[in-house]
Structure 1
Amino acid sequence: MTRLLRSALVIARRDFAATVLSKAFIFFLLGPVFPLLLGGVFGGIGAQVASQTEQPVVAVISSQTDFQRYSASRDRLANALHDDSIVRLVHYDPAADVASQQKQLLTSRKPPIRAVLTGGLANPHLTGSVGEDNAVAQLELILTDARNPASQATDISVTDTKTATGAAAKDQAFTGQIGQMLLFFLTILLSGMVMSQLIEEKSNKIIEVIAAAVPIDALFIGKLFAMLAASIVGIVVWISAGALLIQMISSGGVRSLPAPAVGWPGFLALGVAYFAMYYLLLGAAFLTIGAQASTAREVQTLSMPVTFAQVLIFGFAATTVGRPDSAEAIAATIFPLSSPMAMLARAAQEPAWWPHIAAIVWQGIWVAVILRIGSRLFRKTVLKSGPRAKWWKLRRA
């Protein structure tokens, strides 16, 4: 056992130094920046396009006096709700032939008019395609307010306590959801490193030289923990840079984010612990897959079912957000591959610590079991990196 641990430490130190001290590790740390920038740019463009195309435009054919009352009512409604979700009103003076004017407006593209409101305040009539949204209900509210302009909104005295249970539960559920997504995507992204490194060493026959000097189990465990340590270094850098960025662009800094129930220090510590457990569980599976394959194409073919299965497991764990004591949440906590994600969401919503201690012990047992199974499969297949014999030749022999 002592020789196994010592050999695993040697392999882990070798792979960790080769990964972290290489020039490529700098580009590895910069890797998430480009998807975030592209996601922000295209997300902003998509939101702007959606805002411009989804906001209904209603042409109002009326006198200037009636339209001013319409517009004032619309502005009051927009102040209470999000402005992009309120219909946009465009004024047109009545023409000699209102029916022809209405038909012409409905075929106009600049602006793209959804409906035409005629009749003024006395006898309003709406014509157009408004059956699939709430534009009619909004116009009814606007019309009701426009007909009674003397009625003023009542001022309500407000005392902001910042400790309402409903608001805190909603914010903490959002924090748990974000934590689950980060845990899932970081683990999926980083666990593939062990496969690529293993395939490279198998193709260069380096792994056979190493296997002659150390036990195969130590090689398996050392590689897995080396990539775990390199991934944690990357995560620490990303979290520090993200916290600094939030502190710079936000007046409240990190404190302005929804605080988890266990507090930010405890939540971040549990996040690292659950990432380590999730990475060891999933990384052992990927490392075992890498031992079965001889080429990068075979790795992609074999790892695809595991990746899709993890997406389904992530969806199962995501259903527990907001319901930490439900039957689904308990089942997701017991199942080892969804337990880290379910428990991280629980840390954002429940302040108790004993479930996390029990969950980490439970996950540690499964890590030991999967490492044992994976190391046995790894031992059987890692040295079989040469060309495979044809099945008919094996039968003839």
Structure 2
Amino acid sequence: MANNIGRGLRQALTVARRDFIATVFTPTFLLFLLSPMFTILFGAAGGFGASSMAQGAADRARIVVIAAPDQAAAIVATDRQLRQVFGRGDIPPPLDVVTPSNDPAAQARARVSSRDGDVDAALYGPLEHPTIVYGGGGSNEADYLAGLAEQALRAQKLGSTAPLSAPTKTKIVRTVVTTSGHNAAALFAVMAIFLLTLFLAGLTMGTMAEERSNKVIEVLAAAVPLESVFFGKLIGMFGVALLFVGFWGTVASQITAILPAGTAAALAGVAPAVGKPVFALLFLAYFVMSYLLIGAVYLILGAQASTQRELQLMALPMTVVQMANVGMSTAAAGKPGSTIAWIAEIFPFSSPMAMAAHAANSSALWPHAVAILWQLLWVSLVISLGARWFRRGVLKSGEGPKRKRKQPQPSSSSESV
């Protein structure tokens, strides 16, 4: 028994070494390894273009108050004070105070409806009963002008726009991670495992489909047991995945050194409940489980596909199931201890992502030992069933029910002597 296990393991490692070398030692692997960088660069370029367009539109936007010259100073001073409470992304457009014409209502409407004015909202009339007109996206600016009229009227009645209070601001550095910080780490863990698994496990499907179409898999199956072929391919592709994760993990660990101080401080508030070293180990373990589970299923699907069309048709349902899994795991990350969290942690294909989120939200360690054993059971079950399915459904070499051979009937004719 021990000799059979050792021989099967050696055969699996031989297949794994073959697949690892065939994948890594090729010119295209460098492009595959750097493909996230290209994706980031393209996304950054698109985001920069969209941001530039949005910023250009924001720079042209204005709000207008039509008021008498004796009210202009109070309105401008009040506007300056109110803008201090807004963040950089929420600050209202610049304010223009203009002198009213003979028809302030028509003047305000002309400003808002003009093609070249980019005026989001305009206010006219007495501050006690102002009238505000605004365009389709200017409801927030209209609310701001209403508040501006209120505060400017108060300043007029007080006779001064000077501040009445002088606050003392003291910054306190938080030394503990909040619940929202744990939830953010949980969401990051779910999405990281999902994207890495989806990106890397697909290699196993393409490899199996390719080798089935060119009959290489039949040569391997004739030399070694199919369980060893399956397990060896998983190990080989998993080695490629570890190389990929190790490279980009090293790159990501150095990014914080070049981030702005504010961004680095914000990231410091995102931390797992079990601690970063333990979380890193658990994240790696759950990535291994997720990759082996999904990779085994992809191997099964790739073994059944004889053409690229069939491969794509089989991959689509798996992607939909994966999206459902990540949806459950995301809900578990936001609501730890809920019913949906329990379901996601027990269901084998969402369990790695949900348990990674559990590690970010809870400091208890014993559930992870149970979860890893549960996931290992499903990994072995999926690999075993997948190999049998491949043997019976594709190679047609499974042992079917034994049939009794018919005995030859004795000849009815007899020789005459």
What TM bracket, shorter-length normalisation?
A: 0.7 to 0.9
Provide Cα deviations, 1:77-129, integer angstroms capped at 9, x if missing partner: 33322243243223322223323322321221333223220125454221234
Matched, 1:8 2:12: yes
Matches within 5 A, 1:22-61: 22-50=26-54, 57-61=62-66
The 1-side partners of 2:260 and 2:7 are apart by 52
2:119 alignment partner, SS class:
coil
Change in Cα spacing, 1:101 to 1:252, as seen in structure 2 (3 Å) is closer
**Unaligned stretches of 5+ residues in structure 2:** 156-160, 397-417
- CA drift of 1:284 comes to 0.9
- Contact 2:123 / 2:145 at 8 angstroms: preserved in 1? no
Change in Cα spacing, 1:13 to 1:96, as seen in structure 2 (3 Å) is same
The 1-side partners of 2:260 and 2:90 are apart by 26
Letter of the aligned partner of 2:50 in structure 1?
Answer: G
Match 2:110 to one of 104, 110, 113: 104
Partner of 1:139: 145
Letter of the aligned partner of 1:175 in structure 2?
Answer: A
Match 1:213 to one of 223, 227, 232: 223
Q: Point out the more displaced range, 271-280 or 254-263.
A: 254-263
- Contact 1:221 / 1:375 at 8 angstroms: preserved in 2? no
Change in Cα spacing, 1:105 to 1:381, as seen in structure 2 (3 Å) is same
TM-score (norm 1): 0.88
RMSD in angstroms over aligned alpha carbons? 2.5
Provide Cα deviations, 1:142-179, integer angstroms capped at 9, x if missing partner: 23332322443541453514135xx6211221121122
Q: Point out the more displaced range, 306-315 or 143-152.
A: 143-152
The 1-side partners of 2:137 and 2:31 are apart by 52
Change in Cα spacing, 1:334 to 1:72, as seen in structure 2 (3 Å) is farther
Partner of 2:408: none
Q: Point out the more displaced range, 351-360 or 255-264.
A: 255-264
TM-score (norm 2): 0.84
Q: Point out the more displaced range, 41-50 or 214-223.
A: 41-50
Matches within 5 A, 1:285-300: 285-300=297-312
- CA drift of 1:235 comes to 0.6
Letter of the aligned partner of 1:107 in structure 2?
Answer: S
- Contact 1:57 / 1:112 at 8 angstroms: preserved in 2? yes
- CA drift of 1:315 comes to 0.9
Matched, 1:87 2:85: no
Matches within 5 A, 1:1-397: 1-50=5-54, 57-64=62-69, 66-88=71-93, 89-119=95-125, 121-129=127-135, 133-147=139-153, 148=155, 149-158=161-170, 160-163=172-175, 168-251=178-261, 256-257=267-268, 258-383=270-395
**Unaligned stretches of 5+ residues in structure 1:** 385-397
The 1-side partners of 2:337 and 2:168 are apart by 37
- Contact 1:119 / 1:125 at 8 angstroms: preserved in 2? yes
Change in Cα spacing, 1:45 to 1:197, as seen in structure 2 (3 Å) is same
- CA drift of 1:37 comes to 1.4
- CA drift of 1:347 comes to 1.6
- CA drift of 1:313 comes to 1.5
- Contact 1:220 / 1:378 at 8 angstroms: preserved in 2? no
Provide Cα deviations, 1:153-211, integer angstroms capped at 9, x if missing partner: 541453514135xx621122112112211111111111110111122222222222222
The 2-side partners of 1:80 and 1:208 are apart by 70
- CA drift of 1:48 comes to 4.7
Provide Cα deviations, 1:206-226, integer angstroms capped at 9, x if missing partner: 222222111111101110121
Q: Decide which structure has the larger Cα Rg and report it.
A: 2
Change in Cα spacing, 1:269 to 1:151, as seen in structure 2 (3 Å) is same
1:242 alignment partner, SS class:
helix
Provide Cα deviations, 1:322-370, integer angstroms capped at 9, x if missing partner: 3211121111111111111111112222222112222111111111111
Partner of 1:391: none
The 2-side partners of 1:318 and 1:298 are apart by 31
